[in-house]
Amino acid sequence: MKLTLKIWRQKNAQDKGAMVDYKIDGIEPDMSFLEMLDVFNEQQINAGGDPVAFDHDCREGICGMCSLFINGEAHGPDRGVTTCQLHMRMFKDGDTITIEPFRSVAFPVVKDLVVNRSSFDRIQHAGGFISVNTSGNTIDANTIPVNKVDADHAFDAATCIGCGACVASCKNGSAMLFVGAKVSQYALLPQGKIEATERVLNMVKQMDEEGFGNCTNTGACEVECPKGISLENIARMNREYLSASMKG
């Protein structure tokens, strides 16, 4: 396959950045999107150029490190996958592919396609935990039975990989799918209910302070989420928030 790549190049956080056009040849349909970029970078290095910086690690869709806004969609045109699982068979010979970083006020660019998502970590620091000591001197794991339906829903929410596709896809730059998933995981489990009030208030407060926008129910985040995190989690967070605010 022969392709034209339009890639966002930006030296560092201070640089203004711009789209730059490149041609690439010899791409096979069985390659992953990131392997295509590996080939591109190998060519850049051999030609004395500067390889494009992009985040990636596990390359099996679970670590949440890879990002990229490809042809206007977070993680590209395929559904239910991260960029590292996207394969070139989704594209045609002669295609032009636009590659940009995940853009958001709360995700400043580090270099080229790499952004800083530490704002997600800070929301978790504010309340993304159950305050139990890790000494192991707790009760037996089977002491509190958990309804399987609740446990399964908690698991579904907990499969969020924290990649930030929801934020990048949202016209408001909202992080509510991400935060809603964490709030839901704990709200659905008996172990998490004890601190539910404080947790949702603290996490939402931090989310707002980081500069993420609000949710206006367009649902783009759910469509683009590589893990299929459901909008129900946002609704559940809103309910939790409302009831917490009344208590507070």
Partner 1 sequence: MALDSKIPNGPIADKWTNYKDHINLVNPANKRNLDIIVVGTGLAGGSAAATLAELGYNVKAFCFQDSPRRAHSIAAQGGINAAKNYKGDGDSVYRLFYDTVKGGDYRARESNVHRLAEVSSNIIDQCVAQGVPLAREYGGLLDNRSFGGALVSRTFYAQGQTGQQLLLGAYSAMNRQIGRGKIKMHNRHEMLDLVIVDGKARGIIARNLITGEIERHSAHAVVIGSGGYGNVFFLSTNAMGSNATAAWKIHKKGAFFANPCYTQIHPTCIPVSGDHQSKLTLMSESLRNDGRIWVPAKAEDAKAIREGKKSAKDLVEADRDYFLERRYPAFGNLVPRDVASRAAKERCDAGFGVNKTGEAVYLDFAAAVQRYGKEQAHIKGLDESDSALVTKLGTDVVRSKYGNLFQMYYKIVDEDPYTSPMMIYPAVHYTMGGTWVDYNLMTTIPGCFSIGESNFSDHGANRLGASALMQGLADGYFVLPYTIGAYLAPDIKLGAIPTNTPEFDAAEKGVKDQIERFMNNNGTQSVDYFHKKLGKIMWDKVGMARNAKGLTEAIAEISALREQFYKEVRVPGTDKGFNQELEKATRVADFLELGELFAKDALHRNESCGGHFREEYQTEEGEALRDDENFAYVAAWEYKGKPSDAVLHKEPLVFEAIKLVQRNYK
Distance CA 145, CA 228 (A): 27
Specify the stretch interacting with partner 1 by CB under 8 A; choose among 69-77, 93-101, 112-120, 232-240: 112-120
Q: Please identify which residue in 9, 17, 22, 124 interacts with partner 1, judged by CB under 8 A.
A: 124
- From the list 96-104, 132-140, 212-220, 232-240, the region that binds partner 1 by CB under 8 A is 132-140
* Selected binder of partner 1 within 4, 96, 118, 243 (CB under 8 A): 118
CB 236 within 8 A of CB 184: yes
Q: Does 214 bind partner 1 (CB under 8 A)?
A: no
Q: What string of H, E and C letters represents the secondary structure of 26-37?
A: CCCCCCEHHHHH
DSSP 23: E
Interface residue with partner 1 among 2, 77, 121, 242 (CB under 8 A) is 121
Choose among 111, 63, 108: nearest CA to 83: 63
Burial 93-119 (b: 16+ CB within 10 A, else e): eeeebebbbbebebbebbbbbbbebeb
Q: Give the residue, chosen from 2, 20, 49, 216, that forms a contact with partner 1 under the rule CB under 8 A.
A: 49
Closest CA to 220 of 187, 174, 156: 174
Which of 3, 33, 61, 179 binds partner 1 (CB under 8 A)? It is 61
Q: How many CA atoms lie within 13 A of 80 on its CB side?
A: 1
Our finding on whether 129 is near partner 1 (CB under 8 A) is yes
Per CB under 8 A, the list member of 62, 218, 219, 223 interacting with partner 1 is 62
Binder to partner 1 among 7, 97, 161, 220 (CB under 8 A)? 161
Say whether residue 142 binds partner 1 (CB under 8 A): yes
| Four-residue CA torsion sign, 118, 160, 75, 172 | negative
For position 58 contacting partner 1 by CB under 8 A, the verdict is yes
The yes or no reply on residue 45 touching partner 1 (CB under 8 A) is: yes
Q: For residues 23-42, which are near partner 1 according to CB under 8 A?
A: 28, 30-32, 34-35, 38-39, 41-42
Question: Is residue 81 close enough to count as binding partner 1 by CB under 8 A?
Answer: yes
Characterize the bridge pairing of strands 3-9 and 18-24: antiparallel
Choose the binding region for partner 1 from 92-100, 155-163, 214-222, 237-245 (rule: CB under 8 A): 155-163
Q: Nearest CA to 153 among 186, 127, 124?
A: 186
75 binds partner 1 (CB under 8 A): no
CB of 186: closest distance to partner 1 in angstroms? Answer: 5
